[in-house]
Structure 1
Amino acid sequence: MDSGLNHVVLVNNARRALEKGRFELIYQPIYSVGHREVDSLETLLRWRMEPGKLAAAQEFRGIFRDPSMSLSIRNFVLENTIRQAAAWQDDGHHFGRLSINTTAFDLCSGDLAGRLEAMLALYRLSPDMIEIEVPENALYGPRAVEVGLAIEMLCYSGFSLALDNFGATYAGLSALRRYPFSRLKIDPSLMRNALTNSVDQAIIRHVIGLGHDLGITITASGVESEAQMEAALQLGVDSIQGYFVCFPKEAEMVPRVCHVLNLQGRSA
């Protein structure tokens, strides 16, 4: 079976899975070092491919190359994330912001900001509750101009913006001059390399200093060990996200998990 046919099969399987409710959302806390509490949650997409197997997005990233499938997945994520945010708010649970990942195609679809505004109005939520994560590579791809226009529309509509996977291409610094990002998420590979590579440590320190000068929150993502946690703290990041802090959780578990993390922070 050639790669083209493999892709067609994957997309068709994904389309059926979406129709049958086999895509799910889970949520991972982002923990503020300074405030010692959860300051936001990231929405993560999972595909229940078979009983007991919940696949992460990187395992089926090929489906996002199909425009129709990518748009369907985007709408599923947006609708369910905002519906869940409204449910938590109605129950009196405070979670800061909800971060939503995007692809270059999502940003270039032309209706992202408008669709988000309509959904938020339906559930009586405000744009400042949502943070849109823009992948670093989307800013330098073939549709960079369209991505830039989409970012401007999102900003104009009142949404917070995060630059995701910073350091994956070492090309994101100039983006901080052009776009009003409020958060910068350091790529996990850069954080791992910083454990043993003094150059990467220097790069991260420079980025953190620059970000703070610009009023940008710096988040270390993909922190999975005590060593990575200690390195991130020593380098001076503002918040931490990763398995070492908390595994992603189903929606019904999030309020309890956030409550426990906040209690631990206050008692530390």
Structure 2
Amino acid sequence: MTIIPLLTLAGWLVSQQPGFLIAAFLLPAILAVSIDRGAGRRGPETDPLTGLDTRSGLIANLDDDLRGTAQRGCQSAVVVLEIEDFKLLEERVGRAGLEAVLIEIARRLISGVRDSDTCARLDGQTFAVALAAMRDLSEEQAEAVPRRLQLALSRPVALGQQVVHPTFSVGYALSRKVMQPDGERMLQSATLAMLEAQRSGLGTVLGYDAAMKTRIETREALLREVRTALVRGEVRPFFQPQVCTRTGKVTGFEALARWHSPSRGMVSPAEFLPAMEAAGLMEELGHVMLNSALAALRDWDRTGLSVDRVGVNFSTAELRQPGLANRVAQALERFDLDPCRLSVEVLETVVAGGSDDTVANTLTGLAKLGCRLDLDDFGTGHASITTIRQFPIHRIKIDRSFVTNIDRDPEQHKMVSAILTMAERLGLETLAEGVETEAEWDTLASLGCDHIQGYWIARPMPLSDVAPWVKGLADRGAGSAKSARKIG
């Protein structure tokens, strides 16, 4: 069988609506194609909706390709493409509309490859292509094919008067990158790359390499450990004080999740919180944090420690639970605490683009209960004034990225000054996060910021250290702003 270069392969897809261009793309001259292509190959089974091969057919053809490519000095590749937000798409267009979209995607996929390649539908939302007899390509050349497939499949699809815009996470694997490649290993490797692409954000294309497998195995091990950590009580709150800039008094503490692993030691929140989110554990973590923080506040009351309130972070997953406000009310009643002593901290990104009805109703319910609402990491989520006014916000927490070097950076100074002016006019309290120097404190205080939080005051501390720390302030002269600054 003779192999010749394929200079270009063009596929044009036009909708049935006159004048509506669906897709146009070119694949570059990086494929090799057999003269004796025939009408394409089919596996032993086909998908009843799209007519594409199934998983077993794809793997069988891959195995055949791999046996021949090494002898011809070529390589094989697999591309896996998964439709993003599949359930939302089905809710929007209905079952019949979804099937029409899937059929159109299958048609584009077939039009975008050679007859010698194999197109398959692996499951409801996942497609794959086995590319046979590819030249030895550079990394940029290898990525060009899946990117162009992604572009073609992501073009708008017209469903009568409705137009949908499917998006795809894409992973691919080259046979030279897979140890002892066979059809099953190739497909598994491309699927791993696709899952990594999903984690990286919408519309990402990633190629498989050996380091990726190691990263995934490490993350899976972390997921297993973090599940166990919650059960064993290894994840618990550390408390960071919040201080009034005018009086220097501690007005509250924020409860921050910290994990001390017997094998790993202290694990960074930047590492374990995404793992918990991926494992669907944020609601369980939120339950632990809320009850632990309220228990601490009750115990401080009993020992005569003066702390006005405690702040607890609520994830998007928690806020989307319809019964959250009732559960918070029950917890406050159980610990005999006034709701106004709980600050519900919500990321600005949760409300920046407008929020779904469940989140909005939950926040409204918590505010009606009497809880204070803090908008966390303000300045990072592009929330508009209109959006802020739609929610019963009490205080905005200015993100540390705006606070760092505010005493030396005129642009930072202007930005924070504008935020503080806006907050004052809206009747909102303000708190600056990440304050690490005396100069930053002084600048923020002079601009009228109400509260500060950061290492200049204290690092987050375990529950056992809170009482000694507060008493240490009293010994140094309570009521003085200087007394609230970092001890020791």
Q: TM-score, normalising length from structure 1? A: 0.90
Residue 184 of structure 1 is matched in structure 2 by 396
Q: Distance in 1 between matches of 2:415 and 2:332?
A: 38
What secondary structure, in the 3-state scheme, does the structure 1 residue paired with 2:280 have? helix
**1:74-89 paired onto structure 2 within 5 Å:** 74-89=286-301
**Could you tell me how far 1:44 is from its partner in structure 2?**
0.9
1:150-204 deviations in Å (ceiling 9; x for gaps): 1111111110000000011333533322112111100000112634543332221
Give me the whole-angstrom Cα distance separating, in 2, the residues matched to 1:214 and 1:23.
37
- Is the contact made by 1:110 and 1:150 (CA closer than 8 Å) also made in structure 2? yes
Query: Is 1:69 the counterpart of 2:281 in the alignment?
Result: yes
Counterpart in the other structure of 1:151? 363
Cα offset, 1:96, TM superposition = 0.6
- Counterpart position of 1:37: 249
Measure the CA separation in 2 of the matches of 1:221 and 1:39: 14
Residue aligning to 2:227:
15
- Say which of 218, 229, 234 aligns to 2:441: 229
- Quote the Cα distance in structure 1 between the aligned partners of 2:454 and 2:477: 17
The RMSD of aligned alpha carbons is 2.3
Q: Which has the larger radius of gyration?
A: 2
Are 1:266 and 2:485 counterparts?
A: no
Distance 1:224 1:62, change over 3 A: same
Q: 1:60 to 1:184 in 2, by over 3 A?
A: same
Secondary structure class of the residue paired with 2:243: strand
Report if aligned partners of 1:29, 1:258 keep a CA contact under 8 Å in 2.
no
- Number of the residue aligned with 2:457: 245
Q: Percent identity?
A: 25
Kept in 2: contact 1:168–1:190 (CA 8 A):
no
Distance of 1:141 and 1:230 partners within structure 2: 34
SS at match of 1:11: helix
Distance 2:477 2:283 in 1: 40
- CA spacing shift, 1:27–1:127, aligned 2, 3 Å: same
1:256 corresponding residue in structure 2: 468
**Distance in 1 of aligned mates of 2:353 and 2:453:** 27
Q: Does the aligned pair in 2 maintain the 1:11–1:69 contact within 8 Å?
A: no
Between stretches 154-163 and 111-120, larger displacement belongs to 111-120
Partner of residue 380, structure 2: 168
Cα distance in 2 between the residues matched to 1:21 and 1:32: 33
Which region of structure 1 is more displaced relative to structure 2, 204-213 or 96-105? 204-213
Gaps of at least 5 residues in structure 1 are: none
1:220 positional shift: 0.7
Q: Any conservation in 2 of the 1:164–1:185 contact (CA below 8 Å)?
A: yes
Instruction: Describe the shift of the 1:149–1:223 C-alpha distance in structure 2 as closer, same or farther (beyond 3 A).
Output: same
Between Structure 1 and Structure 2, the one with more helix by share is: 1
Q: Secondary structure at the match of 1:202?
A: helix
How does 1:91-130 map onto structure 2 within 5 Å? Answer: 91-130=303-342
Measured in 2, the distance between the counterparts of 1:185 and 1:156 equals 21
Determine which structure has greater relative contact order: mean sequence separation of CA pairs < 8 Å that are 6+ residues apart, divided by chain length: 1
How far the C-alpha of 1:80 sits from its partner, in A, is: 1.1
Aligned residue number for residue 158 of structure 2? none
Alpha-carbon distance between aligned partners in 2 of 1:143 and 1:50, rounded to the nearest angstrom: 39
CA contact 1:31–1:241 (8 Å) conserved in 2: yes
Aligned residue among 404, 410, 417 for 1:198:
410
Helix, strand or coil for the counterpart of 1:85?
A: helix
Deviation readout 1:217-264 (Å, 9 max, x if unpaired): 111111112332233223221111001111222212212322333554
- Once the two structures are superposed, residues 36-90 of structure 1 have per-residue CA deviations (whole angstroms, 9 ceiling, x without a partner) of 2001110011011246832342232213433631111111111111112111112
Structure 2 unmatched runs, 5+: 1-212, 483-488
- AA partner of residue 158 (structure 1): G
The total of aligned residue pairs comes to 268
Q: CA, structure 1 residues 34+51, in 2 after alignment: closer, same or farther (shift >3 Å)?
A: farther
Letter in 2 for 1:87: D
Tell me how far apart the structure 1 counterparts of residues 269 and 357 of structure 2 sit (CA, whole Å): 26
Between stretches 39-48 and 16-25, larger displacement belongs to: 16-25
Aligned-pair CA distance for 1:34: 1.4
Deviations 1:86-110 (A, max 9, x none): 1111222220110001111111122
Amino acid at match of 1:99: G
